[in-house]
Amino acid sequence: MTIPAFGLGTYRLTGQTVIDSVKTALQLGYRAIDTAQIYKNEADVGQALAESGVARDQLFLTTKIWTHNYAADKLIPSLRESLSKLRTDQVDLTLIHWPAPGNGVELREFMTALAEAKRAGLTRQIGISNFNIELTRQAIEVVGKGEIATNQIELSPYLQNRRLADFLGEQGIAVTSYMTLAYGKVLKDPVLAEIASKHQASVAQVALAWALQLGYAVIPSSTKRENLASNLLARDLRLDEQDMARIAGLERNGREVSPAGLAPAWD
């Protein structure tokens, strides 16, 4: 995998809340941090990173370009602004946040600009987020095979996205799972609770371990130290074939996020 398997998400966290979350996570051993322009927290994340004492070369930073900045004359300037807020000369990964098919900027234009950002040294790797199979194909055509590091997609035991995940695997594109706990809905699932009890683990650890064992990267978020620490333990949890089969049976196309105008036609 070209990206870390386990990272910290910062969606919906701002101000001192996200500063504390990032600093605590780094104290616990997290080294990958995921943010985005639209989260309005890049400066807070940058402050937390600066105050953490962790060397930049030990960190993996991801940000995402927002739809307002997709035009060829806006994408790179907006990324430079993100870098300034994050207090770094380069991020490790920059994603197109949503395909936004109706926003007036063609996919070829923003993917070309994203590739230019990589050539300019502003980001080590590039990728996409919330792209379906067809749009991923189109993105590959623009930037070339092997250039897209990941597609960050909503994926949980209730939304397993198998067709898309299989396609990404065939293309050598890593899957990054966000919303792996489905806004907390999976935490009340009786099947997951049984598996958790069997392994003396938490339900959250089971859901995260399931995604990790399928080869996906995960970026759970939390504001509580005990949850941040507990989530990390998912890396050491090994589910057996029966566990994985039972979780596979939880698929219900339970999508939580599909904003009009931003989302594609889902596979």
Catalytic site residues? 39
Which pTM value belongs to this model? 0.97
- What sign does the CA torsion over 169, 175, 181, 183 have? negative
Residue 50, domain member (yes or no): yes
Residue 260, domain member (yes or no): no
Look at residue 2 in the predicted model and tell me its pLDDT.
Answer: 79
Q: List, as own/partner pairs, every contact residues 20-26 make where C-beta atoms lie below 8 angstroms and the sequence separation is at least 24, other chains included.
A: 20/48, 20/223, 21/48, 21/221, 21/222, 21/223, 21/228, 22/48, 22/49, 22/52, 23/48, 23/51, 23/52, 24/225, 24/228, 25/228, 26/52, 26/54
Q: What is the pLDDT of residues 186-199, one digit of tens each?
A: 999 999 999 999 99
Look at residue 39 in the predicted model and tell me its pLDDT.
Answer: 98
Q: What CATH number should be reported for the domain holding residue 190?
A: 3.20.20.100
Structure tokens at 233: 């333990």
Structure tokens at 114: 């994203």
The Cα–Cα gap between 5 and 174 comes to 10
Q: What is the pLDDT of residues 140-177, one digit of tens each?
A: 999 999 999 999 999 999 999 999 999 999 999 999 99
Residue 21, domain member (yes or no): yes
The Cα–Cα gap between 244 and 92 comes to 32
Kindly state the average pLDDT of the residues 39-50: 98
Q: Is it the case that residue 14 has pLDDT exceeding 80?
A: yes
Look at residue 71 in the predicted model and tell me its pLDDT.
Answer: 98
Q: Is it the case that residue 217 has pLDDT exceeding 90?
A: yes
**Structural domain count, the chain:** 1
Alpha carbon 42 to its chain's center: 15
DSSP codes of every residue in 213-229: HTT-EE----S-HHHHH
Residue 94, domain member (yes or no): yes
Residue 61, domain member (yes or no): yes
In which band, very low, low, confident or very high, does the pLDDT at 1 lie, cut at 50, 70 and 90? low
Q: Is 68 annotated as a binding residue?
A: no
Q: Is it the case that residue 102 has pLDDT exceeding 90?
A: no
Residue 147, domain member (yes or no): yes
Residue 59, domain member (yes or no): yes
The Cα–Cα gap between 249 and 153 comes to 20
DSSP codes of every residue in 101-155: TTSS--HHHHHHHHHHHHHTTSEEEEEEES--HHHHHHHHHHH-TT-EEEEEEE-
Tell me the pLDDT of the chain averaged across its residues. 97
Residue 265, domain member (yes or no): no
Q: Is it the case that residue 249 has pLDDT exceeding 60?
A: yes
Domain enclosing residue 169, as ranges: 8-248
Look at residue 33 in the predicted model and tell me its pLDDT.
Answer: 98
Kindly state the average pLDDT of the residues 208-236: 98
Q: Is it the case that residue 226 has pLDDT exceeding 80?
A: yes
